Structure 1
Amino acid sequence: MTVTTTTTTGQASASTNGSTNQTVSDLIGRSNRLGADKRNTNYAGGNTSAKGLGFDPATGEDVELLWVKGSGGDLGTLKESGLAVLRLDRMQALRRVYPGVDREDEMVAAFDYTLHGKGGAAPSIDTAMHGLVDAAHVDHLHPDSGIAIATAADGEALTKTIFGSKVVWVPWRRPGFQLGLDIAAIKEANPEAIGTILGGHGITAWGDTSAEAEANSLWIIETAEGYIAEHGTAEPFGPALEGYAALSGGERRAKAAALAPTIRGLASTDKAQVGHFTDDPRVLDFLASTAHPRLGALGTSCPDHFLRTKVKPLILDLPAGADVESCLLRLRELHAEYRTDYASYYERHATPDSPAMRGADPAIVLVPGVGMFSFGANKQTARVAGEFYLNAINVMRGAEAISTYSPIEESEKFRIEYWALEEAKLARLPRPKSHAGRIALVTGAASGIGKAIATRLAAEGACVVIADLNIDSASAVAEELGGPDVAIGVQADVTDLAQVQEAVRATVLAFGGLDLVVNNAGLSISKPLLETTEKDWDLQHNVMAKGSFLMSQAAAKVLIEQDMGGDIIYISSKNSVFAGPNNIAYSATKADQAHQVRLLAAELGGYGVRVNGINPDGVVRGSGIFAGGWGAKRAAVYGVEEEKLGEYYAQRTLLKREVLPENVANAVAVLTSAELSHTTGLHIPVDAGVAAAFLR
């Protein structure tokens, strides 16, 4: 394939610049459209490319270039920065130095020597599929319907029946340079073909224009969908399995919340994981069928699927109506069996140069009548793992509807999962942040100190639940922090047991469990003894003393069930140890919180749960308490103007520094980090130095 144009020596011609811009623009548009529909390909799955002219400033001449989605990118959100840019002549010249399939991995490093300029994103393993095929535009996708044909026992015959000579079957081959050569040879030998079905894997399509390539991709996908719909059996998963039908919505949620902490703890045996739960009807339908144990044991087939879901899920083999205790007992037994089985899988296929086993815990746990729990290093990874297994269920349904589901061999899955190139990709991942994989619930987090704490924990990699009386404000803060893959907002009156328990349940269902609770919700009414009413006293003790107790109690149940340790933090006050004027109710309840820290540290230490407190003072700027009238009252007590209260507090400290919400948040981050893993029962002053409040 050759594209020509005229150019002026020493600078790019206007026609070249325009052609290049249009080529890239068309590629991005096509990629985004294809990637936006999960029927076409899954998150970060597949790749697209375009060939065209670009300008080489080193020679002053036009050169043929290949733009292809780089390693790790996502088609639906692809931007120009996510494209690898290669010199097409140099890329195609790699044929001459190709050492053979046994050494094809070496070609990935060779791609670096074909890059144009700085090259853009890192080239992926599929680059050869795009560069070697003689077509201006190439798409490689993982549509459910296409993989259903690719994983059918008679997939080759079905491909001919469904598509005729327009689509050619390619037997399974691990992605790489040889697969690129194979597809290039197939296209050359079949000039009428518009694409291929890649056995066990997906599809590839091409075209002379971007629009033609996209149309050909969609034609393959829609033709496969249509054939399955027209010729497929009505019950691809077989008849319903008695007792395995979906529970009602409320029952599912309640049972999922009851099971989630234990499931997350089991899935985190080797490394802490964040969870995601879904009760998608397609999952529930699969688990209600007689075929689900057989199909689940066969595992997934497409490499993009099992790299995120592991080769197979853990499936609870009890009916939907089984009680929670029976389910928990059986899950623990199945988890032990799963780990043994995974270790055997590794030992069967590992060679002396294989990477070490990465972990034997399941990434997908299926509970009949309830739904699917998926796990990953963060919420997005966990959610995407679940989406991939849902894709796998769709694939199984399609394959079983017209044939028999027959994924690639276990040995081939191992070659992908423990591929040296995959290990190198994992090694390039950035070092995890201090709170990566942790799930935090912060009360009173829609403003002031609570918001600062939530913001800091999210910045350190934690998933955060913003609990607040004002659900609109809580949801707004959660959106600011990155939305549901990072934070959610929940309404919680901490004086109400039902709302506290629901906030914890929402946390568990959103992220799989709970690791860190910050009891921050509070208020203050500044009055002398004789003016403090019983209502004043009860309100402050209900919110801070009782509220902290209720939240700690609900959280401790989850922490104990998870068996992963955890942290409970009390935002107490300098007033818990310092006797100031006109503050009887507030100071007394802060002293109550301070002693709860000591009591719970002693009680929960045996479960690995650390309980610590922070004693701030004089946090005026950004404080919800001060904005609510407390500041004016304290200013009156001290005889200063309210706007100068922060300055007044700063001048009475040893360090002469004003305390900000962020200073308290910093203390929470440090106190709950691994660096202080052996610290519990501690109160840390964050008051810039108030000698009268020194702990003794």
Structure 2
Amino acid sequence: MEKTFEYVDYLWDEQKAASMANDQVALFLYRSNILGADLRITNYGGGNTSCKTIEKDPLTNKEVEVMWVKGSGGDIGTLTRKGIAGLYTERLRDLKKVYKGLDDEDRMVGLFNHCIYDLDSKAPSIDTPLHGLLPFKHIDHLHPDALIAVAAAKDSQQVTKEIWGDTMGWVPWQRPGFDLGLQLEKCLEENPGIRGIVLGSHGLFTWGDTSYECYINSLEVIEMASEYIEQKIKQKGQVFGGQKIEALPAEKRLEKAADLMPTLRGLASSENAMIGHFTHSDTVLQYINSNDLERLAPMGTSCPDHFLRTKIQPLILNLSPEQDLSDANTVMELLKPSFEKYRQEYAEYYQKCKHPNSPDMRDPNPVIIIYPGVGMFSFAKNKQTARVASEFYVNAINVMRGAEAISAYTALPRQEAFDIEYWLLEEAKLKHMPAEKPLSRKVALVTGGTGGIGKAIADKLIAEGANVVVTDISEESIEKALHNYKKDDATAVLCDVTDANDIEKAFKKACLAFGGIDIVVHSAGLAISKPIEETTTKDWDILQNVLVKGQFMLAQKGIEIMRQQKLGGDIVSIASKNGLVAGPNNVGYGTAKAAQQHMSRLLAAEVGKDHIRVNTVNPDGVIVGSKIWEGAWAQGRAKAYGIDVKDLPAHYAKRNLLNEIILPDDIANGVYACVAILNKSTGNTINVDGGMANAFVR
């Protein structure tokens, strides 16, 4: 029978679990995934889970107990067999014989490798002994908001007893490691029969004889804490000391955020370029608009999983919700002192707390930025990291809300926080992270980005690490693009490049989704091939509007945002060989393409001082996969050359020096070269045409 919970999601599927009945590791992974699916239970990358099974030792053929546990850096919500470590339980417990105390913690992590049973194991995490030194078959270590609120309350131990009586143990704050595993073991010995342990300022350990019993135990313990907190809030009648300021209406909040994001991004990127994220949920607004914000925010977060991703405290902007943001330079000058003060205070925190062997100070800029009345911004190396940082700070808000309702919120002492943030093992983990891709930390907008050349460009930029805003005039194509890309990689928006309002909306989307813009690629286009006598003013106008006016308006808005960020940028226009070479039946299209090319040169001369590079990529004969060859244009070109439409690909391949068919991917590579490789090149034209001597620019 299905259990009913109010504050957590019960996701156990008996039929699905039954199909794994003979595979305890599969059941453990299933339990992990459904626990990780509820962010009230644990956030991305937070917590860890384990199970113990009996296996045959490959050397002795004897039965041994093996512990399977989430490996270093994993996420229980997406955990697979590749992300777990399998260790001999007995060998892990034998490490107690060689442990020399708190100063020996880092050495112990290296010794975990001597306990490996499964040679394909993920590197064991620092939490491995916390699971191994407890005797239970199935263990969950989670960071539920409600439990951390209990753990972070000033009278945490007393509250634990009030909620669960003698059924829960309590261990004071201690940095994760082998000694904390010993403390858990000791707590269990002193309190036999308990169902779990609360870790002060940290989280929760629960267990069970089966995967299902462990799952239910975890949910029940979290539910009890949640109920207790909600009752306390009802008794108080308000949270965070009540509302201090009123939030703007939702639409105005989004407008403010879009206007401010590039400025914040520029300031937060003083050392390394950052990608942004914005949220204005009810939970966030309740906190940032409250009387207690300025008291609670500087205290910092309590759970290591939180502040490792959010920094110890946020930056609160000294702006009113009604602040005029129309003059970006004025706003930047207004905010600069706050950012400088934050960096200085972070440097002081580092200098005061560092040890002789501490790693060098990391980027001192804020990760979480709060704008009362509007919302919360987060900035990090990529979209996923920025989004996850925001989610973790929402968890921290929930913790503060609960702890304040219980009694009073307490944060970790700064030295304890520093020792976690600059732990040598944490530094080693950061150094082993995969290298960033060439376009990581860049945001691109690609017009005509859902088919042919535009899609190839968008795909290439995403593959090389950029975040991309894809635009098109087809709603169906936009919907398809949204399903084709991961939400942290790209977004899509309807945009007619001849409409200034549409262009404004597209750039606002880029700012809200990712923080700003670094690359603008004008790939939207159409082609009309007619003799002069058949070319109408309507033909002329649409070519000029889409290709030339569209490029002008995109560049104008893109440059405005790039100047606001003060991070430089790239503008790339997809023109054509036809802008350089005179040919029959092409006066409208060729003239527009020539205008695109010269506009790029003019812009390059004007915005070079802003470190904005403007270049042109000239395709020719991109027939396969290109939308402009669907219909009248192909027929017109075939007629001009006196051949059949079906013979066009071969015709174009034969006439270039390399005798190559030019594909959309080739044009995408040309754009990539402009924005990722030729970083000291501007005002240039790159011909991607297989070599057309009459189109050589010099």
Per the TM alignment, residue 610 of structure 1 is displaced from its structure 2 partner at its CA by: 0.6
Mapped contact 1:69–1:82 kept (Cα < 8 A):
yes
Per the TM alignment, residue 212 of structure 1 is displaced from its structure 2 partner at its CA by: 2.1
Deviates further, 320-329 or 599-608: 320-329
Structure 1: gaps of 5 or more residues: 1-17
Matched with 2:586 is 583
Mapped contact 1:475–1:488 kept (Cα < 8 A):
no
User: Partners in 2 of 1:670 and 1:234 — Cα distance?
Assistant: 60
Matched with 2:678 is 676
Does 1:470 find its partner at 2:471? Answer: no
User: Partners in 2 of 1:209 and 1:332 — Cα distance?
Assistant: 56
1:102-501 superposed matches below 5 A: 102-232=103-233, 233-241=236-244, 244-324=245-325, 328-480=332-484, 482-501=485-504
User: Partners in 2 of 1:490 and 1:628 — Cα distance?
Assistant: 26
Mapped contact 1:466–1:475 kept (Cα < 8 A):
no
Deviates further, 225-234 or 292-301: 225-234
Matched with 1:570 is 573
User: Partners in 2 of 1:645 and 1:19 — Cα distance?
Assistant: 57
Partner of 2:533, secondary structure, is: helix
User: Partners in 2 of 1:383 and 1:163 — Cα distance?
Assistant: 34
Per the TM alignment, residue 575 of structure 1 is displaced from its structure 2 partner at its CA by: 1.0
User: Partners in 1 of 2:635 and 2:111 — Cα distance?
Assistant: 69
Per the TM alignment, residue 560 of structure 1 is displaced from its structure 2 partner at its CA by: 0.5
Question: Alignment partner for residue 507 of structure 2, among 504, 507, 519?
Answer: 504
User: Partners in 2 of 1:474 and 1:97 — Cα distance?
Assistant: 61
Letter in 2 for 1:499: D
Per the TM alignment, residue 35 of structure 1 is displaced from its structure 2 partner at its CA by: 1.0
Partner of 1:43, secondary structure, is: coil
User: Partners in 2 of 1:665 and 1:19 — Cα distance?
Assistant: 46
Per the TM alignment, residue 208 of structure 1 is displaced from its structure 2 partner at its CA by: 2.1
Mapped contact 1:544–1:589 kept (Cα < 8 A):
yes
Measured against aligned partners, the alpha-carbon deviations of 1:19-49 in whole angstroms (never above 9, x if no partner) come to 9952112211211121111111111100011
Per the TM alignment, residue 164 of structure 1 is displaced from its structure 2 partner at its CA by: 1.1
Per the TM alignment, residue 119 of structure 1 is displaced from its structure 2 partner at its CA by: 4.1
User: Partners in 1 of 2:277 and 2:232 — Cα distance?
Assistant: 35
User: Partners in 2 of 1:610 and 1:662 — Cα distance?
Assistant: 22
Mapped contact 1:522–1:544 kept (Cα < 8 A):
yes
Measured against aligned partners, the alpha-carbon deviations of 1:242-286 in whole angstroms (never above 9, x if no partner) come to xx2110112111111110000011111111111111111111111
Per the TM alignment, residue 227 of structure 1 is displaced from its structure 2 partner at its CA by: 0.7
Letter in 2 for 1:102: D
1:684-695 superposed matches below 5 A: 684-695=686-697
Letter in 2 for 1:339: R
Q: TM-score, normalised by structure 2?
A: 0.95
Matched with 2:611 is 608
Per the TM alignment, residue 460 of structure 1 is displaced from its structure 2 partner at its CA by: 0.2
Structure 2: gaps of 5 or more residues: 1-18
Matched with 1:83 is 84
**Alignment CA distance shift 1:639-1:58 (3 Å):** farther
User: Partners in 2 of 1:610 and 1:99 — Cα distance?
Assistant: 59
Measured against aligned partners, the alpha-carbon deviations of 1:391-442 in whole angstroms (never above 9, x if no partner) come to 1101110011111110111111100111101110011111111101111100
RMSD: 1.4
User: Partners in 1 of 2:213 and 2:528 — Cα distance?
Assistant: 71
Matched with 2:10 is none
Question: How many residues end up aligned between the 2 structures?
Answer: 675
User: Partners in 2 of 1:198 and 1:489 — Cα distance?
Assistant: 44
Mapped contact 2:604–2:612 kept (Cα < 8 A):
yes
Measured against aligned partners, the alpha-carbon deviations of 1:417-475 in whole angstroms (never above 9, x if no partner) come to 11101110011111111101111100001100000000000000111111000132123
User: Partners in 2 of 1:472 and 1:484 — Cα distance?
Assistant: 18
Letter in 1 for 2:615: N
User: Partners in 2 of 1:608 and 1:478 — Cα distance?
Assistant: 32
- What is the percentage of aligned positions where both structures have the same residue? 49
Deviates further, 450-459 or 350-359: 350-359
Question: Alignment partner for residue 618 of structure 1, among 617, 621, 631?
Answer: 621
Matched with 1:11 is none
Letter in 1 for 2:697: L
Does 1:538 find its partner at 2:502? Answer: no
Partner of 1:235, secondary structure, is: coil
Mapped contact 2:20–2:26 kept (Cα < 8 A):
no
Per the TM alignment, residue 211 of structure 1 is displaced from its structure 2 partner at its CA by: 2.0
User: Partners in 1 of 2:74 and 2:632 — Cα distance?
Assistant: 51
Mapped contact 1:234–1:401 kept (Cα < 8 A):
no
Q: TM-score, normalised by structure 1?
A: 0.95
Partner of 1:517, secondary structure, is: strand
Mapped contact 2:276–2:380 kept (Cα < 8 A):
yes
Mapped contact 2:622–2:662 kept (Cα < 8 A):
yes
Letter in 1 for 2:199: L
Partner of 1:465, secondary structure, is: strand
Per the TM alignment, residue 327 of structure 1 is displaced from its structure 2 partner at its CA by: 5.3
User: Partners in 1 of 2:582 and 2:181 — Cα distance?
Assistant: 77
User: Partners in 2 of 1:136 and 1:505 — Cα distance?
Assistant: 52
Partner of 1:42, secondary structure, is: coil
User: Partners in 1 of 2:40 and 2:625 — Cα distance?
Assistant: 47
**Alignment CA distance shift 1:540-1:19 (3 Å):** closer
Letter in 2 for 1:485: D
Matched with 1:45 is 46
